[in-house]
Amino acid sequence: MDTDRERHRARETAFYLFTQQSLPACKPVLTPGWVIAIFLFMGVIFIPVGLVTLRASHCVVEIVDRYDIDCVPEPSRMDKVSYIQDDSIPKNCSRFMKVHKYMKAPIYIYYQLDNYYQNHRRYVKSRSDKQLLDGQKYHDTSYCQPVESNNNRPIVPCGLIAWSLFNDTFEFIREGAELKVNRKNIAWKSDRGHKFGKNVYPFNFQNGTLIGGGKLNPEIPLSDQEDLIVWMRTSALPSFRKLYGRIEEDLDVDDVVVVNLMNNYNTYSFGGKKKLVLSTSSWLGGKNDFLGHACVFVGCSSLTLAIIFVLLHALWRHELFTLEQEKLFRVIRTRSTYI
């Protein structure tokens, strides 16, 4: 009972304080001491974090190989587009990748496309999430324009994204023996589980006059077509990497990996680049120096500012602390809030 009443009273007083605009509040006054302490603290926090991040990034070993030009035979280089569009010419090509540093499994295989606008509005909208989940049961494919049906029969999966599926393939050989590439679990789990239907099979796909990218095995349900799932998670930026698979063996220094690839995908007509990337990962993910540099930079500048303020404070201490000046500071600070 008593506590109830007390609580009630407390609530009443709180409301009263609210109505009088006198709720307890703290107003940190940015005195030199506080400012110096805050900057010092930021410096102390950010520099180690940055260094750790940088180190993690440096541990990642990355091999990048651009192959789109080199895989076109010399005579065809003048007209790469007609080369890539000519189905009669075999497209196989071999590349050598030298490991310059020990790479610990798992080693991720990415293909990287540059100047490829997966974020173009026409492209990005041309898909039907409902159809991907429900298959032909879902009839409204108007979102998939202009690749929605062929011969009056719906295409599964419909839309430009699926139609332009990336179809270069890679095989890795080390010292004569093929490296095993794991191509399972490369797509998001949620995509596999909830976005792509388990009973939806490709239908009427790439049957039209215009053939875009890769074909799909009509025997495998969409939820298991992980290449497609990865491809359909469109990239926000015009150059991007997508996961191809994982090598689950360590690579030693000076190992030479022979890559046998099928150079099928047409990036020549719009001047795109194709690259193959092998990369290990750290606890922070792939190779990314920016985060580390940013942290170190912020930390260093905070520390510098702290030192400058300490010096200023030591020099002008007695003047800085007059009441009038503090008021002035406050006013100047307030000033900035006016429209």
**278 part of the interface to other proteins, by CB under 8 A:** no
Residue 65 tokens, joined: 């190989």
Q: Is 286 in the site for other proteins (CB under 8 A)?
A: yes
CB atoms within 10 A of CB 8: 10
Q: Is 277 in the site for other proteins (CB under 8 A)?
A: yes
Question: Taking Cα atoms as reference points, which of 203, 200, 192 lies closest to residue 221?
Answer: 200
Residue among 3, 20, 88, 151 that touches other proteins (CB under 8 A)? 20
- Asked if 297 touches other proteins (CB under 8 A), the answer is no
Query: 67, 163, 196, 309: which one contacts other proteins (CB under 8 A)?
Result: 163
CA–CA separation, 222 and 191 (whole Å) = 10
**Could you say whether residue 221 binds other proteins (CB under 8 A)?**
no
Of the candidate residues 243, 303, 305, 310, the single one contacting other proteins (CB under 8 A): 243
Those residues whose C-beta lies under 8 Å from the C-beta of residue 90, and which sit 6 or more positions away, are none
Which of positions 25-54 make contact with other proteins (CB under 8 A)? 25, 27
Tell which phi-psi region holds residue 204, choosing left (phi > 0), alpha (psi between -120 and 50) or beta.
left
- SS3 of residue 209 by DSSP: coil
Options 136, 150, 204, 235; binder of other proteins; rule CB under 8 A: 235
Rounded to a whole number of angstroms, the minimum distance from the CB of residue 125 to other proteins is 5
Does 167 help bind other proteins (rule: CB under 8 A)? Answer: no
Q: How far is the CB of 176 from other proteins (least distance, A)?
A: 29
Q: Which amino acid, residue 302? A: S
Of 333, 318, 339, nearest to 32 by C-alpha is 318
Segment near other proteins (CB under 8 A); pick from 42-50, 199-207, 250-258, 267-275: 267-275
**Which residues in 114-147 are b (16+ Cβ under 10 Å) and which e?**
bebbbeeeebbebbbeebbbebeebeebeebeeb
Distance CA 273, CA 302 (A): 41
Residue 281 engages other proteins in binding (rule: CB under 8 A): yes
Name the segment binding other proteins (CB under 8 A); options: 3-11, 176-184, 254-262, 330-338.
Answer: 330-338
- 208 in contact with other proteins (CB under 8 A): no
Strand partners, 242: 111
**Separation of alpha carbons 94 and 250, rounded Å:** 21
* The one among 147, 228, 247, 251 contacting other proteins by CB under 8 A: 147
**Cβ distance to other proteins smaller for residue 16 or 321:** 16
Q: Report which residue type is found at 279.
A: S
The reply on whether position 110 binds other proteins by CB under 8 A is yes
Q: Please answer whether residues 264 and 167 qualify as being in contact, where contact means their C-beta atoms are separated by less than 8 angstroms.
A: yes
Query: Measuring CA to CA, which residue among 250, 236, 220, 258 is closest to residue 97?
Result: 258
Q: Does 146 help bind other proteins (rule: CB under 8 A)?
A: yes
Question: Which residues form the interface with other proteins (CB under 8 A)?
Answer: 18-21, 23, 25, 27, 108, 110, 112, 116-125, 127, 146-147, 160, 163-164, 186-188, 210, 212-213, 230, 233-243, 266, 269-271, 277, 279, 281, 285-288, 290-291, 294, 327, 330-331, 333-335, 337-339
